[in-house]
Structure formats: structure tokens, C-alpha cells
Amino acid sequence: MPMSPFHTQPHAGARQRAPMIIEGTRSMDIYYLLFSRQLLDNRLPRTIKLKKATLFTNFLYMIIEIYILILVIGIAFILQDHYKEYLYDNTLSTIQHYNPKTPYNHSIENIYSESKHETHKHDFGVYYDKVDYKLFKINTTHNASIIKKSMFSESPYFYDYIQSNAHEASYILDCGCGTGDFSIYLANKIPNCKIISFTNSQKCLDEARENIKQHGKEKQITTVLLDFDNLNTLQHKGFDRIYFIESHGYSQNRAMLFKHCKSLLRKNGMIYIRTPSFYNQYHKHLKDITNFWKYNFSTSDNICYDLHNCGLTCNYIEINAIKLFLSYDPIAATGLPLFMLFNSPLFISKRYMLAHILLAIYGMKFSIIKATA
């Protein structure tokens, strides 16, 4: 058969490409590629549809996962809110009467006595001059013991307002007022009352005066720079309520402080104390905590003992620290550690981290003490 004039015989070194193309490929696929462009075009939309279906399925799964997460968080919030209400109601009703025959715990009390020798008295006020109070503020308060009936209820100071029957008071002394939050709250709740607030920190005093001015309460609240151990120099007397909101422990002589307070109270007046405290068991790490906070931690019984010796009648409530922490709002639960972390260089050391963990395990609690004249 004669060869076509367009056909050329491949030379000996030429590569045989056609068999390599065909090898491993189905003939039908070659047919589509070479002769059926329309069939290839018809397969592309099908692939795109499959990809779109996969994307839609993944998006649907993501929506379901987000919904389940929101549902779990919502249930957790509801359960915690019920727990908060239970704890709140329980602390209002479980008041204990102090028994004067309760033995004084000297081992706990000696912790602070030893700490005083290791810390200069001047440091107790200067310590709080170094704190950045605007960095973290926990639920409108810098306190650690926050008792709220609900996440959506008003200020955590409402509990103290109820417990102390503050509505009956017209003349109030706020001892260790900090940045003035509690005094401002009382001034808003009791418009006709007069409040004397003092602190031993100049920075706290400046912050308090600024806050009071912003709230327009300068006529109701008078602020004073005063040391706890010089309370006898205060010119004001006849108070209906004297409050120590996590503050009485900054006095180096608690018994003398309470004697001065007793002389400032009117008849049927009340000293109201909310404070972190220890259980009666002694543990070596309690000294680390006392040195770190520079606070006279004690027991409810020891505090009531000093108040009783002043001629006051005492009732108290105790709340386990872990139970209280479980009731914290998420903002407070994260804000408190961050506040300590950024304001306390010692807190980041392993020694003090361990001390705080052990303290919660071995017996930290919060006490509410009411002593009436």
C-alpha cells in the first residue's frame, strides 16, 4: 500500500509517545477527551455540585456544634444561678451565736504576730499605694468575697446592706474604704445618711475622692486619711453602723481597734465585718498567705472573742471559700486572679501559687460578723 505523502517515518531515536498516553488510561476516557468535549463539560457542573453539597454539610455541622455549645453554656449559667440563689439564701439564714466559752486559738493568732516582726509597719499602707485599681475591677468591687443572689442582681454590696439592716442607719463609718465603692453604694441606697470614710493609703484616698465626686456624693461622704491603729483620733462619734469590708485585718492591734470602735458606737449600734478568715486548723502555709497579703487573718471565734471583750454581742456566718468561688460570675472568676497577677509580683512565684492552692484546700473561708452594742 502506497504511503501518504504527508506521512513520515520516525527516525530510530524518536520517542514513542502514543503508547505512553494510552498506557494506564481507559479507552473510553480517551474517547471523551478527544472527541466528546460536550461530555466533559457536562461532568464539571456535577463536581461543583458535589463540592457545594460538602460545603453546605460542613456549614450545617458547624451551626449544630455552635448551637450545642450555646445550649451547654446556657444550662451551666442557669445551674450556677440556682446555686447562687441557694448560697445567698443559706447564708442569710444560717447565723451562729458566738459562745464565749470557745477557746482562743493562739496558734492562728501567732501567725500574724510573727509576720509583724518581718514586715515594716509602713509597708501596710504603702503596699496599696502600688496597686493599679483601674486595671481590674471585679463586679464594681475589689473585694474577694462576693455574695450575689443572681448574676443579674444589683451590686454585691446589697448582701451587706440587707445583713446589717443599713436602712436603719443615718450615721455610718466605713473603715478601710478603699476606692469608695461601698460608701457610694450606701449613699445611693440611703439618701439622708452621712458617711465618714477613711483609708490608710493616699492613693486609695485620691481614688475614693475622685469616685465620690463623679457620683456627686461630696455632701454625703467625708473622706479621711487615717491609720487603723489611730482610730481614737477620729473626731466623729455616735455612729449607727461601723463597717469593715475586708479591712479590719490591716490593724496591727485588733483588740484595741475594736475598743476604739465600741467608743464610737451609739447605743444599739452595730459593727459589721466581712472578712477572709481561717478555719481553726493550723497549717504552715498560712504564714505565707499572711505575709503575702499583709493582713491579720484569724478565725471567726478569735474575732468574736475580741469583740465580746469590748462588751458586744456577736453573731457570725461562715462560708467555705471554694463554695463561694463556685458562685462567682465569669467576669469575677477571671478578674480576681488577673487582678492579683498584675498587681502582685509575688503571686507569680511558685511558692505563693502553691500557698494559695493549699489555703483553699486546708481551710480558707469568709466570715460575716455582726456585733451589737
Identify the pLDDT of residue 117: 54
- On whether both 54 and 192 belong to a single domain, the answer is no
Mean per-residue pLDDT, 62-83:
90
pLDDT bucket at 34, cuts 50 / 70 / 90: very low
Identify the pLDDT of residue 61: 87
Least confident span in 11-20, 60-69, 272-281, 297-306: 11-20
Identify whether 116 is part of a domain.
yes
Q: Reply yes or no on whether the pLDDT at 28 is more than 70.
A: no
pLDDT bucket at 209, cuts 50 / 70 / 90: very high
Number of domain units in the chain: 2
- On whether both 188 and 289 belong to a single domain, the answer is yes
Mean per-residue pLDDT, 319-326:
83
Identify whether 62 is part of a domain.
yes
**More confident: 140 or 180:** 180
Range of the domain at 306: 94-372
Beta-carbon neighbour count of residue 268 at 10 Å?
9
Identify whether 4 is part of a domain.
no
pLDDT bucket at 262, cuts 50 / 70 / 90: very high
pLDDT bucket at 41, cuts 50 / 70 / 90: low
- On whether both 161 and 264 belong to a single domain, the answer is yes
Q: What is the CATH number of the domain that holds 186?
A: 3.40.50.150
- On whether both 134 and 34 belong to a single domain, the answer is no
How far is residue 338 from each of residues 127, 168, 290, measured CA to CA in Å?
18, 37, 20
Identify whether 38 is part of a domain.
yes
Give the up-direction half-sphere exposure of residue 165: CA atoms within 13 A in the CB hemisphere.
Answer: 9
Strands 96-97 and 313-320: antiparallel
Mean per-residue pLDDT, 351-367:
63
Across the chain, mean pLDDT equals 78
- On whether both 192 and 251 belong to a single domain, the answer is yes
Identify whether 3 is part of a domain.
no
E strand intervals along 160-251: 171-175, 194-199, 221-225, 239-245
